[in-house]
Amino acid sequence: MDRIIKIAAVLLAFQLQGCAVREPMPAEQGETPTLTPRASTYYDLLALPRPKGRLVAAVYGFRDQTGQYKPVPASSFSTSVTQGAASMLVDAMQASGWFMVLEREGLQNVLTERKIIRASQNKPNTPDNIQQELPSLQAANMLLEGGIVAYDTNIRSGGEAARYLGIGLTQEYRVDQVTVNLRAVDVRSGVVLANVMTSKTIYSVARSAGIFKFIEFKELLEAEAGYTTNEPAQLCVLSAIEAAVAHMIALGVERRLWFVADQRPLEQTSLAKYLRPNAKP
């Protein structure tokens, strides 16, 4: 019986150690904030070949079109995906180096500030930073439209478990998927120049170990330890948007809507993985 208890203690110790090393507990208060972790798609954008000229584009919004909410008891009013996808799209566009992004989501704030400047210019003692006449706002040649179009839960799930003499290990996993749509629209004609859809899977894994053993009559030993790993949904949305921007640029190069600056073969750049098979740019 002592041998069983020792085995149980060692098993729980290893399980708890795995929790501490691979999946640490939430950070204590006062920890220094860090930059958001980025996926490989972000570094692909940074490594894209330079364009002949940057595309002047505007983003008015990139809405959540899934209609999905987190299940109870989390909250029946909390959405499953981020509502800040437009900011993520702007970040991806700037990281690519192919776009000159114009502010449109907060356009009303820009117009309000311009009104304040004009009102101040008509008064004496005008500050130096607003003495010059305001130029006209720049117009966009292209609109980037779209949104988060799907969030599918439990597209794949499973697990495995083993138990011997009341001592067992369990592992379960679940796979969700988020899909985004991105399209480029010509402002002059309203024609959709390019349209892409990208998907990213979201993994959730739960591991646990437990003991359920009668030591003596009316004396029961029961212990359990484990942890759960949930891949952040917002980082998956960000990665899907970054991939959509890269695919959009590649599709435009294939269709000769925009061009790269150098003559280096595209197969030797990070754009190659986003080109369609057998494409002839």
46 or 35: which leads in pLDDT: 46
68 or 244: which leads in pLDDT: 244
The token pair that represents 79 in the structure block: 């959405």
Write out pLDDT tens, residues 79-98. Answer: 888 888 899 999 999 999 99
The token pair that represents 246 in the structure block: 């890269």
Domains detected in the chain = 2-22+36-104+140-274 (3.40.50.10610)
Residue 21 CB contacts under 8 Å (≥ 6 apart), including other chains: none
Q: Say yes or no to pLDDT of 280 above 50.
A: no
The confidence score (pLDDT) of residue 116 equals 87
Task: Tell me the sheet residues that pair with 203.
Answer: 175
148 or 128: which leads in pLDDT: 148
Which amino acid, 26?
P
The token pair that represents 14 in the structure block: 């290893």
Write out pLDDT tens, residues 166-211. Answer: 677 777 777 888 899 999 999 999 999 999 999 988 877 877 777 7
Closest-CA residue to 170 (of 126, 228, 118, 241): 228
Question: Any idea of the CA torsion for 49, 54, 59, 64, to the nearest 10 degrees?
Answer: -10
Residue 171 to residue 177: CA distance in whole angstroms? 20
21 or 154: which leads in pLDDT: 154
pLDDT range class, residue 216, cuts 50, 70, 90: low
Least confident among 38-42, 98-102, 141-145, 274-278 = 274-278
User: What is the average pLDDT value for the chain, to the nearest integer?
Assistant: 79
Element counts in the chain: helices (H) and strands (E) = 5, 7
Write out pLDDT tens, residues 139-172. Answer: 999 999 999 998 887 777 777 677 766 677 777 7
Q: Say yes or no to pLDDT of 9 above 60.
A: no
